[in-house]
Amino acid sequence: MEVTREEIIELWLKPNFGLTVKELIEREPEELLSSPDWFKKYAVSQQAHDEWHEKAIDLIAKRLRMSKKMTRRRFAFDYLNSAPSVK
């Protein structure tokens, strides 16, 4: 079973802003969504970021049946594509 980028993003977007990726796409203009600036608009606290990071590692490790240690090693590109900005 795979984990989508949308699922990883919703781990921080939903609890902090009450939005899904689909709702965000409907709400925001195309110009904002086509650039990484929307991550800045929806920035979270360092604590929220750290909680998201652990949840993302847990989700990926569980779904892909990998150890958390291995998941942390392989998480770099997923992190760069889905991590929230920190205020």
Note down pLDDT in tens along the chain; length 87 residues.
799 999 999 999 999 999 999 999 999 998 888 888 889 999 999 999 999 999 999 999 999 999 999 999 999 988 998 999 999
DSSP track, 20-74: -HHHHHHHS-HHHHTSTHHHHHT-B-HHHHHHHHHHHHHHHHHHHT--HHHHHHH
pLDDT of 35 reads 86
pTM above 0.85, yes or no: yes
Is the separation of the CB atoms in 56 and 13 below 8 Å?
no
